Amino acid sequence: MQIIPAIDIIEGKCVRLTEGDYAQKKIYNEDPLEVAKAFEGIGLMRLHLVDLDGAKAGTVVNWKVLEKIAHKTSLEIDFGGGIKTEATLQTVFNTGAKYATIGSLAVKNATLFAEWISNYGAEKFMLGADVFEEKIAIGGWLEKTNVSVFDFIKSYLDIGITQLFCTDIQKDGKLEGPSVDLYKKIIAKFPFLGLIASGGVSGLEDLKALRNAGCVAAIVGKAIYENRISMEDLSKF
């Protein structure tokens, strides 16, 4: 199982939220590049970069942070937050993202997203399923929907998406453990999906549980910043 560290950006700084609440914001580093270089330095190869300003504004805001990290590290970056138009999608690819992370748009404008998959290739996208009680939430988690996570996944598997990360909002940023049971249900239904776990990881035991559940990767954020998982532990894992 691969470890994908997360850097969430507000006003150009590395932050973490709790339960997706912008009011529950904690700044961990003023310089996201410094954080990214530390991850690269222990041998990690990917980075999950989230533009929280962009998610809220509905357009990419922190693309300069992406550009800086992409040009000054060798990390494979998936970038999300505010990608709503083809122009913003191209900005994300042109400034160095290997994958575009799409969440809200995949719910609100499935036709446009299907067009992008057709034009750019499904392998260029990482689908984000943010979940509240097995239903999809969108817009930086500010808006709940009645769309079942299972129906959502199936609709995009049918048109070629192969990697998806799933975040249980009720777990995210709380260090109370990930939604292993939910991931097991998803993997049982879609055994050929590359499922990436996200949210709630509190320590190494959680990572082992996710690996045993069949997740291909785990996105880890707050547990690293709060020193629940050391950089040394991550490099060994």
Q: Which residues are annotated as catalytic?
A: 8, 130
Look at residues 92, 29, 85 and name the one whose alpha carbon lies nearest to residue 63: 92
CB under 8 A, 24+ apart: contacts of 182-190: 182/131, 182/134, 182/149, 183/210, 183/213, 183/214, 183/215, 184/213, 184/214, 185/150, 186/149, 186/150, 186/153, 187/213, 187/214, 187/215, 189/150, 189/153, 190/153, 190/154, 190/157
Look at residues 75, 42, 76, 55 and name the one whose alpha carbon lies nearest to residue 8: 55
Q: How many Cβ atoms are within 10 Å of 31's Cβ, its own excluded?
A: 13
| Amino acid residing at 216 | V
Contacts of 145 (CB under 8 A, 6+ apart): 107, 135, 136, 137, 138
Pairing outcome for strands 99-102 and 21-29: unpaired
